[in-house]
Structure 1
Amino acid sequence: MSLSRKTVVKGATVSIGSFLLFGIVTGLLPNPLYVRMVPRTLFDYIFLVVTSLFAGAYVAQQPTTNRSNDDRLAFSSVIAGFLAFGCPICNVFLLALFSNSVLMTYFDPYRPVLGAVSVVLFAGLLYYRQRYDCQSCA
């Protein structure tokens, strides 16, 4: 699939925007607005970068006329990635459902696994779209 300059710019904008937005909201990029309660790890930064890059690549692959039904899987992958690098006890939604001790005991150790699942889903989606969906484009 050949990408036009417009789609590459759109994908790069989404990658940079999601990196900045998610980085600031989760406290991975230090800022005065948010203080992260859980220490930052290398996995947090890896999943932030990979999720941002995959989101940009997905947007760059989007057809302009016929939108596909892959948006749900892409959205789920972004949410799983966000939960993987986000602070588990700072997430208001998770904290409302579970207590602080439950999140740190049962959810925090599995955040790298959740991030790996997110990366595999996104990579599979992008591979499938590149390999199979685009044959009709050619």
Structure 2
Amino acid sequence: MPLRTAIVKGLAASVGSFLLFGVVTGLLPNPLYIRMVPRTLFDYTFLVLTSLFAGIYIAQQSIAGRAGDGRLAIGSTIVGFLAFSCPICNVFLLALFSNSMLMTYLDPYRPLLGVVSVLLFTGLLYYRYQQSCESCGSTAESGST
């Protein structure tokens, strides 16, 4: 796949996930959703990083043309989403846990979840980059001998 197409796909995924997650979590003010927990700098940081890493992953996947580690990318995105989403506004979490339990046990650890998400995405992207470099290097070496 051409590099330009991969970059466009990655950029679209990054901007799309930023807008979707931003609206759904109330970090981007909108009339559809009112956030119950105050917005913090961490929330915006992890929103931007999660969206950026998702876009890079999509672009990298388009260039490499292989799949297989999508579960880790999805898991990293979910953990990132939990890091910047409103814990008491998340219907799925409220169905599983009580409001007070979420504020007591999840809210203090949201920055840690964001760091875990960033580390998982960074590790995944680095691993995929190393794999593509090894395949390029082995092809170049075998062609030159």
Alpha-carbon distance in 2 for matches of 1:129, 1:29: 32
Task: Flag the 1:83–1:43 CA change in 2: closer, same or farther, 3 A.
Answer: same
Alpha-carbon distance in 1 for matches of 2:81, 2:89: 12
What percentage of residue pairs aligned between the two structures are identical?
71
Could you say what secondary structure the match of 2:46 adopts?
helix
Alpha-carbon distance in 2 for matches of 1:118, 1:29: 21
Give the equivalent residue in structure 1 for 2:103. 104
Alpha-carbon distance in 2 for matches of 1:80, 1:65: 25
Give the equivalent residue in structure 1 for 2:143. none
Give the equivalent residue in structure 2 for 1:25. 24
Task: Flag the 1:133–1:64 CA change in 2: closer, same or farther, 3 A.
Answer: closer
Give the equivalent residue in structure 1 for 2:116. 117
Task: Flag the 1:9–1:61 CA change in 2: closer, same or farther, 3 A.
Answer: same
Asked whether the 8 Å contact 2:57–2:125 carries over to 1, the reply is yes
Letter in 2 for 1:128: Y
Letter in 1 for 2:103: M
Larger Rg: 2
Q: Which structure is higher in helix share?
A: 2
Residue 134 of structure 1: CA displacement? 3.9
Could you say what secondary structure the match of 1:62 adopts?
helix
User: Per-residue displacement from partner, 1:51-87 (whole Å, max 9, x unpaired)?
Assistant: 0000000000014685321100000000000000000
Query: TM-score with structure 1 length normalisation?
Result: 0.94
The answer for unaligned runs of 5 or more in structure 1 is none
Asked whether the 8 Å contact 2:3–2:63 carries over to 1, the reply is no
* RMSD (Å) for aligned C-alpha atoms: 1.7
Matches within 5 A, 1:80-91: 80-91=79-90
Residue 131 of structure 1: CA displacement? 1.3
Give the equivalent residue in structure 2 for 1:40. 39
How many residue pairs get aligned? The number is: 137
Give the equivalent residue in structure 1 for 2:140. none
Letter in 1 for 2:71: R
Give the equivalent residue in structure 2 for 1:77. 76
